[in-house]
Amino acid sequence: MNALNITKGTSSKSAYNLRSGHADLNERHTLAVLVANEPGVLARVIGLFSGRGYNIESLTVAEVDHQGHTSRITIVTSGTPQIIEQIKAQLGRIIPVYDVHDLTVEGPSVERELSLFKVSGKGEKRVEALRLADVFRANVVDSTLDSFTFEVVGSPEKIDAFAELVRPLGLSEMARTGVAALSRG
Amino acid sequence: MSGSKMVVQALIDQGVDTVFGYPGGAVLPIYDEIFQQNSIKHFLVRHEQGAVHAAEAYARSTGKPGVVLVTSGPGATNAVTGLTDALMDSIPVVVLTGQVPTFMIGSDAFQEADTVGITRPCTKHNWLVKDTDALAHTLHSAFHVASSGRPGPVLVDIPKDVQFANGTYEGPAKMKSHYQPKLKGDLEAITALVAAMEVAQKPIFYTGGGVINSGPIASQLLRELVAATNFPITSTLMGLGSYPGNGDNWLGMLGMHGLYEANMAMHDCDLMINIGARFDDRITGRLDAFSPGSTKAHIDIDASSINKVIHVDIPILGDVAHVLEDILKVWKARGRKTNSKALKTWWGEIDDWRKIRCLDYATDSKVIKPQYALERLEALTKDHDRYITTEVGQHQMWAAQYMTFNDPNRWMTSGGLGTMGYGVPASIGAQVAHPGSLVINVAGEASWLMNMQEMGTAMQYGLPVKQFILNNERLGMVRQWQELLHGERYSQSWSESLPDFVKLAEAFGAKGILCSDPADLDEAIMEMLAYDGPVIFDCLVEKHENCFPMIPSGKAHNEMLLGDAAIKGAIDASGSVLV
Ligand SMILES: Cc1ncc(C[n+]2csc(CCOP(=O)(O)OP(=O)(O)O)c2C)c(N)n1
Ligand SMILES: [Mg+2]
């Protein structure tokens, strides 16, 4: 039985039932939430996720329209289709939320994240780190005699991959911004 | 205009004439303004929780938002239970709190609390106003948000310096809000529902508090639709009165302590039409066995209520009255069709369930059975212009079962949160709104004690509320669960050291009546009704009566317990983790 395509009258109609029976159907969605840039709005959004037990994989927020006092919150979350629908409906109830877009289903979109990596090491490892950085089109934003700080921009997967590769080369610290995303076109 | 004057002006411009509140340092400028005017009457409660419950009942019984004014810190924290109660039951309440001056916020000042932080999850929305120029607009927005869409409580936190400072006042007409919930339902979905109604063999209307929130027109349209289609109708606790309890198609309340015929019809129906209810767990019972064979339609103004726990086939987002109007229009335009032959068979099945007479109970000539007390209360008050409030527990369920509600806005009870202590202040709020009417709080002795200080409020304002206490000397509902679930180990469910309620009444200056003999009951109730003032009626009832029917936790609608004989092993391990 497909969770999205229940034949009428043949099954119980409990969405809870669908949730627990199909835990493997978890999906990852990127939501763009346009909000009034007023105090407490981020607390409302985060409080909704913690209060109702939803996942936040990443969250970014900044003002995007100074005159219109509008901020854009980009949330990457995961859950079954029912949970994702609930999350969107619950976000839509928050009074200072103007609009909720599910970029994952509303057609193609682009996702980018910025990350900083501090890699400490000497000799061959240092050279290898630089070579990798080149492959990933990372920028060197700081360098000392025994460390480099790289800036990598790209999809979260690309950043994950870079992290994997530089870890054995002396990765000592990293910082990620979380995803910013826009629909294409 | 000063901020504090703006508060009073905004209330007047919003048509407010009643405020429930309690003063303190951070709201003194507003209280000073209240002192100097006559348009708004302020009712001084005895505890801020009482103010919010009173405002809830005021709102529920009038359809207008209830208004509360309290101080910062403890005043605000005391309001939290009321706010949560109003949020769960979708009651429009506007709470104004004082706050320490803006320049002291964050310094752990005297009576400072992060009120907007604390109340963020228990309000529909809240605001901290830092600038007097923004105050009027914020107050008007607060009323707009509280009463539009799915109603709910809002809170405006006003620092003391903002109250003192001068700014520009603007009237409600200037208020702009992007919050404009959609009222009309989608016509395509409505037509799909009508098409399903035309052929349904076993349809049922399942209605909730949303019908009442939508206003008297919604109840009127509902009655018209039920009469026209001859479909059976049941309702949640919150929806009682939207369809008359003495109406022909009424099956009684559904849910955990709902009537057998209502729950069986829900289980067996082939078309369920949910109107302004939310598939609450008290209603559904075991989810995977909830009405397994039915097509489900759901009319709700809150998109997040649709498909939250139960998958529905025909979702209709909109205001109940607007949608019902369109359903009737479309149904009439398509030729007023129903499957009348199948309906006849369906009513036959329902009549068989009715023959079970699930509300029958063992009568007793020596001890007052709580059900009997409520039957008599119903018989002796049903022709009055009457408002009923309740506390929370067995007595609440019995009141829902044994009393009849023929009109909306007449029944005030704490449904979603189940707040013991709701009833006394709620009776005060209802009486304030309807000074000439009969207001009765059907109470349990334990709940009643939780906000009994409000008897002082009743005395001060001459509010003749009748406190009808079904005194079983037990936390009856807790005792019932312990009997069913915990091997009859009655841990802490005794009401020990109860006060002498008659003397307590007298201490407040009210009238006390004690009744323990079924033979005296009618006369005692008549004495209560005849007394022109607040009464505390201590009705000593059977101590070990259980409330039936009952769908035990974790069971389905068709696995109802009908009486004590059935309770052994009724709840299994998986059911016992449920509340
Ligand atoms: C504030 C609060 N605390 C605890 C409970 C749990 N509870 C539900 S019913 C009940 C017993 C109520 O006793 P009483 O008011 O005497 O009513 P009865 O069930 O005996 O009719 C309790 C403790 C609650 N609903 N509310
Ligand atoms: Mg009791």
**Paired tokens of B481:** 């669960």
Backbone angle region of B101, left / alpha / beta, with phi > 0 → left and psi within -120 to 50 → alpha: beta
B36, B440 in Cβ contact below 8 A? no
pLDDT digits (tens, 9 = 90+) for B312-336: 999 999 999 999 999 999 999 999 9
Residue A103 DSSP SS3: coil
A146-180 in b/e form (b: 16+ CB < 10 A) is: ebbbbebebebebbeebeebbeebbbeebebbbbb
Active site residue B483: no
Q: How far is B311 from chain A (nearest CA, A)?
A: 5
Active site residue B264: no
Residues with Cβ within 8 Å of A148's Cβ and at least 6 positions away in sequence, in order, are A118, A119, A126, A129, A130, A133, A140, A142
Of A16, A47, A92, the CB nearest to B309: A16
Of B116, B179, B284, the CB nearest to A95: B179
Q: CA angle, corner B555, sides to B554 and B561, nearest 5?
A: 125
Cα–Cα distances (Å) from B97 to B26, B90, B119, B139, B262, in that order, read 8, 20, 11, 12, 43
Q: Which of the ligands is closest to the CA of residue B476? A: 1
Helices A123-135 and A156-166 cross at an angle (nearest 10°) of 160
Residues with Cβ within 8 Å of B57's Cβ and at least 6 positions away in sequence, in order, are B66, B389, B412, B425, B426, B427, B428, B429, B430, B433
pLDDT digits (tens, 9 = 90+) for B228-286: 999 999 999 999 999 999 999 999 999 999 999 999 999 999 999 999 999 999 999 99
Q: Which residues line ligand 1 (CB under 6 A)?
A: B 391-395, 418-421, 444-447, 470, 472, 474-478
| CATH code of the domain made up of B370-540 | 3.40.50.970
- To the nearest 10°, the Cα dihedral for B299, B300, B301, B307? -120
DSSP conformation letters of B299-320 = EES-GGGTTSSB--SEEEES-H
Question: Which residue's structure tokens are 């932080």?
Answer: B117
B153, B86 in Cβ contact below 8 A? yes
Question: Which residue's structure tokens are 């029976």?
Answer: A21
Which pLDDT value is given to residue B568? 65
Give the burial class of B25: count Cβ atoms within 10 A of its Cβ; 0-12 exposed, 13-18 middle, 19 or more buried.
middle
Separation of B477 CA from ligand 2 center, angstroms? Answer: 8
Separation of B46 CA from ligand 2 center, angstroms? Answer: 23
Q: How far is A183 from chain B (nearest CA, A)?
A: 24
Q: Phi then psi for B27, rounded to 5 degrees?
A: -120, 15
A45/B488 Cα distance (integer angstroms)? 44
Q: A1 pLDDT exceeds 90?
A: no
B81/B56 Cα distance (integer angstroms)? 12
- Fold agreement (B3-174, B370-540): yes
Active site residue B477: yes
CA B445 centroid distance within chain: 20
* Domains along the sequence of chain A with CATH: 27-102 (3.30.70.260), 109-183 (3.30.70.1150)
pLDDT digits (tens, 9 = 90+) for A43-95: 999 999 999 999 999 999 999 999 999 999 999 999 999 999 999 999 999 99
Of B120, B287, B304, the CB nearest to A86: B304
B89/B153 Cα distance (integer angstroms)? 10
| CATH code of the domain made up of B187-354 | 3.40.50.1220
Q: Which DSSP state fits B123? A: S
| A44 with B117: Cβ contact below 8 A | no
Which pLDDT value is given to residue A12? 39
Give the burial class of B47: count Cβ atoms within 10 A of its Cβ; 0-12 exposed, 13-18 middle, 19 or more buried.
buried
Q: Which residues surround ligand 2, an ion (CB under 5 A)?
A: B 444-446, 472, 474, 476
B296/B309 Cα distance (integer angstroms)? 12
Q: A22 pLDDT exceeds 50?
A: no
| B306 with A89: Cβ contact below 8 A | yes
Which pLDDT value is given to residue A24? 55
Strands (E), B74-189: 93-99, 125-128, 153-159
Q: Which of the ligands is closest to the CA of residue B475? A: 1
Cα–Cα distances (Å) from B118 to A164, B74, B77, B229, in that order, read 42, 12, 8, 48
B179/A78 Cα distance (integer angstroms)? 28
B547, B536 in Cβ contact below 8 A? no
What is the spatial order of strands in the sheet that B250-253 belongs to? B250-253, B233-235, B203-207, B271-275, B295-300, B314-317
Looking at ligand 1, which atom is closest to the CA of residue B470? 21
Separation of B395 CA from ligand 1 center, angstroms? Answer: 10
Q: Which DSSP state fits A98? A: E
Each domain of chain B, given as residue ranges in start order, spans 3-174, 187-354, 370-540
Q: Which DSSP state fits B550? A: B
Reference B15, options B172, B146, B159, B128; nearest CA is B172
Give the burial class of B185: count Cβ atoms within 10 A of its Cβ; 0-12 exposed, 13-18 middle, 19 or more buried.
buried
B473, B495 in Cβ contact below 8 A? yes
Is the torsion defined by CA of B336, B337, B341, B347 positive or negative? negative
A82/B501 Cα distance (integer angstroms)? 52
Active site residue B48: yes
Which pLDDT value is given to residue A13? 40
**Paired tokens of B389:** 């409030």
Per-residue pLDDT of chain B (579 residues; tens, 9 = 90+): 999 999 999 999 999 999 999 999 999 999 999 999 999 999 999 999 999 999 999 999 999 999 999 999 999 999 999 999 999 999 999 999 999 999 999 999 999 999 999 999 999 999 999 999 999 999 999 999 999 999 999 999 999 999 999 999 999 999 999 999 999 999 999 999 999 999 999 999 999 999 999 999 999 999 999 999 999 999 999 999 999 999 999 999 999 999 999 999 999 999 999 999 999 999 999 999 999 999 999 999 999 999 999 999 999 999 999 999 999 999 999 999 999 999 999 999 999 999 999 999 999 999 999 999 999 999 999 999 999 999 999 999 999 999 999 999 999 999 999 999 999 999 999 999 999 999 999 999 999 999 999 999 999 999 999 999 999 999 999 999 999 989 999 999 999 999 999 999 999 999 999 999 999 999 999 999 999 999 999 999 999 999 999 998 889 999 999 988 766 667 777 777 877
Which pLDDT value is given to residue B571? 73
B512, B501 in Cβ contact below 8 A? yes
Residue A121 DSSP SS3: coil
Separation of B514 CA from ligand 1 center, angstroms? Answer: 22
- Would you call B294 an interface residue with chain A, using a CB distance cutoff of 8 Å? yes
Given the candidates 3.20.20.70, 3.40.50.970, 3.40.720.10, 3.30.390.50, the CATH classification of the domain at B3-174 is: 3.40.50.970
**Paired tokens of B5:** 């004057």
Of A12, A40, A95, the CB nearest to B287: A12
Q: Taking CB atoms and an 8 Å cutoff, what residues of chain B touch A40? A: 116-117, 120, 128
Note which residues in 418-477 of chain B have CB less than 8 A from chain A. Answer: none
Q: What count of other Cβ atoms lies within 10 Å of the Cβ of residue B118?
A: 17
